[in-house]
Amino acid sequence: MMDKRKAILEAAVELIAEYGYTRTSMQQIADNVGVSKGSLYSFFPSKEDLIISIYEHYQQLVFERAFVVGLDNNLPPYKRFAKQFQVQFEGILEYKSYMKMHIRGESAQNSEKLQGLHHRMRGRLFNWLEQNLIDLYGESILPYKWDLMWMTQSIYTSYMGLIISSENVLPPEGLGQHIVRQIDILAKDFLQGNSVPFLDDEMMRPFSVGMDRDGAFTSFQDRERAWKALYKRIHELRNATYYFEVTDRISEESRKSKPDELVMRGLFRLLKEEETLAAKAYVLEEQLLPATED
C-alpha cells in the first residue's frame, strides 16, 4: 500500500539483523515483503542505498526521539540523565532488530555517506554525555570528561547489547538509574582527586564533532527544544497515534538530503488542524524550514 517503502525497510532490517548484509540478498528481501525484486529497485536505486535508508530511518526513530523525549521534562539533572537512558533503552527494546543490525556493524563496504552518519551519531552521543556531565558536576568535571564519557558509553553500549540478546527483559528504568549511579561514583572519585585522568582532548580528537562545522548540527539544540514541546502536546491528546504518524513522517522527510518543502509544509498543515498543537508546530516548522531568505 502506501507504505510499501516502510515494509521493505522493515523486512530488510529483520533479515540483515539475522543474516548480515552480504548474506541477505535483494531477492530474499523482496520475497519477504511479497513484492518483486524490480519493485525494490523503484524505491531504492541500489542495495547500498537501501541500507543507508535503513540507518536514516531508524537512527531517527531510536535515538533522536529518545534524546528529545529525554529532555522533555523539568527533572533535576541526576534524574533527568537517568530518564534519558531509560528512554533510550525503551527505544532499543522497541527496535531490537535494527539495534542488532547496528551493533553488528552491518554495512556496505565503506560507504562515505554511512561513515559520515556514524561519525555524526557518535559525536552527538558524546556531546550529549558532556552536556549531562556539566549539568551534574559543573565545569570542574571537564578535565575528566573523556575518561568518564568513554567509560559511560562503553557501559551503555554493552548493556544495550545485553538488552538485545537477552531473553529476559531488563527494566529500562532500573537500568537507567543503575548506569547513572555508577557514573556518579566514578565522577565523584575523579573530583576528589583520587584518580588521574587517562584520556585527553588530543587523543580523543577523532571523537569530537565540532558543533559549528555542520549546519544541521548547530541548530540541533533549538530543534530539539521545538520537538520536545510538540511531542509533549501530542502526548496530551486522545488520538495521539495519528499525530505521531504525522510527526514521524515530518521527521523522516527532514532527514533526507533534499527534503521536499511542499511535503513538509503539507504535513505541518495537518498538525495545525489540531489547534492545541498549532503554536508548537509553527515553532518547529520555523526550525526545520527557515523562511525563504536562507
Partner DNA sequence: ACAAAAAATGACTATATAGTCATAAACATC
Partner DNA sequence: GATGTTTATGACTATATAGTCATTTTTTGT
For residues 289 and 265, is the Cβ–Cβ distance under 8 A?
Answer: yes
Residues 6+ apart with CB under 8 A from 117: 52, 55, 56, 59
By CB under 7 A, which span of 46-54, 224-232, 246-254, 276-284 interacts with DNA? 46-54
Which residues in 123-182 contact DNA (CB under 7 A)? none
- Binding positions for a second copy, rule: CB under 8 A: 19-20, 22-23, 104-105, 109, 147, 150-151, 153-155, 157-159, 162, 165-166, 168, 170, 174-175, 178, 181-182, 185-186, 189, 194-196, 198, 202-203, 206
| Closest to DNA by CB, 38 or 215 | 38
Q: According to CB under 7 A, which one of 7, 26, 151, 204 is a site residue for DNA? A: 26
For residues 107 and 21, is the Cβ–Cβ distance under 8 A?
Answer: yes
Selection from 192, 193, 160 nearest residue 179 by Cα: 160
According to DSSP, residue 104 is labeled T
| Closest to DNA by CB, 115 or 221 | 115
The CB-based long-range contact list for 25-34 (8 Å cut-off, 24+ gap) reads 26/50, 33/4, 33/7, 33/8
The reply on whether position 25 binds DNA by CB under 7 A is yes
C-alpha cell at 241: 497515534
Q: According to CB under 7 A, which one of 46, 166, 195, 276 is a site residue for DNA? A: 46
For residues 259 and 208, is the Cβ–Cβ distance under 8 A?
Answer: no
| Closest to a second copy by CB, 63 or 146 | 146
Residue 111 C-beta: closest distance to a second copy, Å: 13
Residue 147 C-beta: closest distance to a second copy, Å: 8
| Closest to DNA by CB, 48 or 248 | 48
Q: Which does 52 bind (CB under 5 to 8 A by kind): a second copy, DNA, none?
A: none
| Closest to DNA by CB, 27 or 158 | 27
- SS3 string, 202-240, reads HHHHHHCCCCCCCHHHHCHHHHHHHHHHHHHHHHCCCCH
Cβ-count burial of 138 within 10 angstroms (0-12 exposed, 13-18 middle, 19+ buried)?
exposed
Residue 63 C-beta: closest distance to a second copy, Å: 19
State the Cα–Cα distance between residues 27 and 33, nearest whole angstrom: 10
Residues that bind DNA (CB under 7 A): 4, 22-27, 35-39, 41-42, 45-48
